[in-house]
Amino acid sequence: EIVLTQSPATLSLSPGESATLSCRASQRLSSSYFAWFQQRPGQPPRLLIYGASGRATGIPDRFSGSGSGTDFTLTISRLEPEDFAMYYCQQHDRAPLTFGGGTHVEFK
């Protein structure tokens, strides 16, 4: 199965700053089948980015995704208070679908 490794595990930032989250895959995969999710405490994950760079419905444009092959990035510009949460990457290029271990964006 494809293993996704996210870094860093924790990102300590202040509102208004930018966040850069990374996800590395153990095998090359199609960017069409790569996604990012946000999960706030007590809530289900929410799809942010699909196809590596497409924003899901209702997602603000301060969220952007990029990357291809084995290296993918989620950038959050101008962090808002509601952006402090867990973020997971996911691939559905090859079964089984897999998720990364997550990056926690926390208040500095």
* Shortest Å distance, C-beta 43 to another protein: 7
71/5 Cα distance (integer angstroms): 10
Count CB neighbours of 82 within 10 A: 10
CA atoms within 13 Å, Cβ hemisphere of 62? 13
98/104 Cα distance (integer angstroms): 18
- 39/77 with CB nearer another protein: 39
Among 2, 56, 73, 77, binds another protein (CB under 8 A): 56
Mask: binding to another protein, 13-52, rule CB under 8 A, as x and -? --------------------x-x-x-----xxxxx--x--
Does 9 interact with another protein (rule: CB under 8 A)?
A: no
82/99 Cα distance (integer angstroms): 22
Q: Which residues bind another protein (CB under 8 A)?
A: 1, 33, 35, 37, 43-47, 50, 56, 88, 90, 92, 95-102
